[in-house]
Amino acid sequence: MRKLAASLLFVLFVAVVASAGTVDVNFDDLPGDGLVPQGYGGIDWNSNWTYYGDVQDPYNPHTPPNRVYTLDPNGAFQFVTPEVFDGAWFAGNAFATVQFELFDPNGVLVWTSGMLDPSSTPTFLTSGYGGLVSTVWVVSPSPDFYIMDDVTYHTPGGTTPEPSSLVLLGTGLLGVGGAIRRKLSS
């Protein structure tokens, strides 16, 4: 029984460590409306991104209430320390296509993501790049017609667990817990 309990604790430890490096910047703890503060979520926003929480279709946040926008066609933000940028959620008008341009710590363009046509349904745009970046440009011909929410990145060595992996982990933990319960009751 102790071996089973130790195995359960080990599996929990591995799951926590595997997801510990993931950061989801969702803006929902910011009060009222205004400029996103420098350093918020480990990111310098260059006094260029504004957050708000009013209902405004098609600019629907992925996780209500807040989301951000910029009027800069190359709305940039920088990580306080280089990170692996996973992507962000977008909504808005389809003609306001968005894509990422990613720059390494030396300011060299290392990757350009695919392009997304926003809609009223928030959609995730993946960066598609697994290396360290310092600066992300959100490029759009119509920056005032889209919003961004849930900016996601992870620290080097951290991983972003896939939902199917978490389901398998949960199922396994339930099975181990059931085995422990049966052992204790017999």
Task: Select from 186, 72, 81 the least CA-distant residue to 139.
Answer: 72
Q: Which has the higher per-residue pLDDT, 144 or 181? A: 144
65 and 14 in a single domain? The answer is no
pLDDT at 51: 98
Instruction: Select the more confidently predicted residue: 43 or 185.
Output: 43
105 shares a domain with 59: yes
- Give pTM, 2 decimals: 0.75
Q: Please spell the DSSP secondary structure of 9-43, one letter per residue.
A: HHHHHHHHHHHTTEEEE--TTS-SSEEPPTTGGGE
Residue 181 has what pLDDT?
53
- 137 and 54 within one domain: yes
98 shares its domain with 139 = yes
For residues 141 and 171, membership in a common domain is answered with: no
Instruction: Output the pLDDT for position 161.
Output: 45
* Whether residue 83 sits in one domain with residue 55: yes
As for how many domains the chain has, the answer is: 2
Which structural domain range is residue 90 located in? Answer: 22-157
State the pLDDT at residue 21.
87
Cα 31 from Cα 162, distance rounded (Å): 31
Share of the chain above pLDDT 70, in %: 73
Same domain for 143 and 83: yes
The pLDDT-based confidence of 32 (bands split at 50, 70, 90) is very high
Residue 151 shares a structural domain with residue 176: no
Is the per-residue pLDDT at 157 higher than 90? Answer: no
**pLDDT higher than 50, residue 17:** no
Check residue 8 and give its pLDDT: 40
